[in-house]
Amino acid sequence: GNWLGIVGGGQLGRMFCHAAQSLGYKVAVLDPAAPCPAGVAADLHIQAGYDDVGALDRLSALCQAVTTEFENVPAASLERLALNSRVCPAAEAVAIVQDRLSEKAFIQGLGVPVAPHAPVCSAADLAAVPNTLFPGILKVARMGYDGKGQARVATREEAAQAFAEFKNTDCVLEALMPLDFEISVVMARGLDGSCVAYAPALNEHRDGILAVSTVPQQTVETQQALYEQAFEAAMKIAQGLGYCGVLCVEFFVLQDGSLVVNEIAPRPHNSGHYTLNACVSSQFEQQARAMAGLPLGSTANLCSCVMLNILGDVWFDEAGMQREPDWAALLAVPNAKLHLYGKAEARRGRKMGHVNVLGGTLDQAREAAARVAHILGIRF
């Protein structure tokens, strides 16, 4: 049939629906929440839990291929889907990436550098970690996102405190790296193993959440060697995972110029939202193409782009009163492309949408982005 399926009803699923539908597919979304951003965009919303075997079987019976929009889908659910349907990415790939410890071990095994780290699964583990990991960041091994489940720790005592706050759940302690900047490579790997990658985005985080991604139409010459290295690492990872679909590799660029992988997202990524307007084919279109076994699209940049995330904070004024952002003013800025996710309730720190601000040059995109940021009341 011409149905594609997705487990998860958030904004990534919603944008996947739009892209797949424009290629002529019908999309079925599995998510327990109704309404949800992807559910209302889908041709069919199966309202059920991610581990509901009956619902999973219904999804896989209907769809030629199924994907996910978040990394914490139970691996067992992906295995269940695979009984009837192609699952991209496969359960084994997602399982590796779901756990920061197996993720880091896997990346290291490919000869790609990661931050110095140690597992912290018990008080004894914590007593044994080397002093060189302080100051560090303690991260829960599973289920963390947007900086949740992370604590900066200066000392072993602080780490012990944070570990207790995380209820002694398995963690990884990473050394705090001297970052110069952060980039990410969004890429797609097709059923036949062919790979395409987008120009890396330069990412700025605030409070552990992505705030701004910047991409010039043409790679700056001084970054070319670094970006080649990042592409190579990302391809190695995709190949090593036997991956099918879209994935993102987040990198730290250290002050000495070296490149370290932070983490892998087994799905389209927030830092790849610029591809919706600035590239020939978006990351969501690539996901549909990969799932359907179609040729992958061009990743070429049509222009420069600054992507601004719109968090729920924008709905609150200085006095903490709720108000509607001035969309009309934003839309009056030429080359500002607004994407709202249709979430019912604005909460601080919640991703509500993003704006892609396009420019013939990066400076032009930045200038317009500054206007948009001012209108929304966000820092840029």
Q: Minimal CB distance to ligand ATP: which residue?
A: 177
Please give the residues from 223 up to 262 whose contact with Mg ion meets the rule CB under 5 A: 250
Annotated binding-site residue? 180: no
Pick 114 or 372: Cβ nearer ligand ATP: 114
Q: How far is the CB of 145 from ligand ATP (least distance, A)?
A: 4
Q: Strand pairing partners for 246?
A: 188
Q: How far is the CB of 250 from ligand ATP (least distance, A)?
A: 6
Annotated binding-site residue? 262: yes
For the purposes of burial, counting CB atoms within 10 Å of the CB of 364, is it exposed (0-12), middle (13-18) or buried (19 or more)? middle
237: closest CA among 204, 179, 195, 205?
Answer: 195
Pick 23 or 176: Cβ nearer ligand ATP: 176
What backbone torsions phi and psi does residue 262 show, to the nearest 5 degrees? Answer: -85, -65
In the complex, the residues that contact ligand ATP under the rule CB under 6 A are 115, 137, 139, 144-148, 150, 174, 176-177, 179, 182, 205, 208, 250, 262-263
Annotated binding-site residue? 255: no
d(CA 282, CA 74) in angstroms, rounded, equals 27
- What CA dihedral angle connects 114, 76, 68 and 196, to 10 degrees? 50
Pick 177 or 278: Cβ nearer ligand ATP: 177
218: closest CA among 227, 209, 210?
Answer: 227
- The stretch near Mg ion (CB under 5 A) out of 128-136, 252-260, 263-271, 315-323 is 263-271
Pick 218 or 255: Cβ nearer ligand ATP: 255
Annotated binding-site residue? 145: yes
Annotated binding-site residue? 297: no
Q: How far is the CB of 174 from ligand ATP (least distance, A)?
A: 4
Q: Which two tokens stand for residue 306?
A: 């600054």
Integer-rounded Cα radius of gyration of the chain: 20
DSSP 292-323: HTPPP----BSSEEEEEEEEGGGGB-TTS-B-
Annotated binding-site residue? 139: yes
Pick 174 or 190: Cβ nearer ligand ATP: 174
Distances 166 to 119, 137, 143, 308 between C-alpha atoms, Å: 14, 13, 12, 31
Pick 174 or 250: Cβ nearer Mg ion: 250
Q: How far is the CB of 209 from Mg ion (least distance, A)?
A: 9
Annotated binding-site residue? 205: yes
Q: How far is the CB of 250 from Mg ion (least distance, A)?
A: 5
Annotated binding-site residue? 149: yes
For the beta sheet containing 26-30, the strands, ordered from the edge strand earlier in sequence to the opposite edge, are 44-46, 26-30, 3-7, 65-68, 86-87
Q: Which residue ranges make up the annotated binding site?
A: 100, 139, 144-150, 182, 205, 262-263
Annotated binding-site members for ATP: 100, 139, 144-150, 182, 205, 262-263
Chain contacts with Mg ion (rule: CB under 5 A): 250, 263
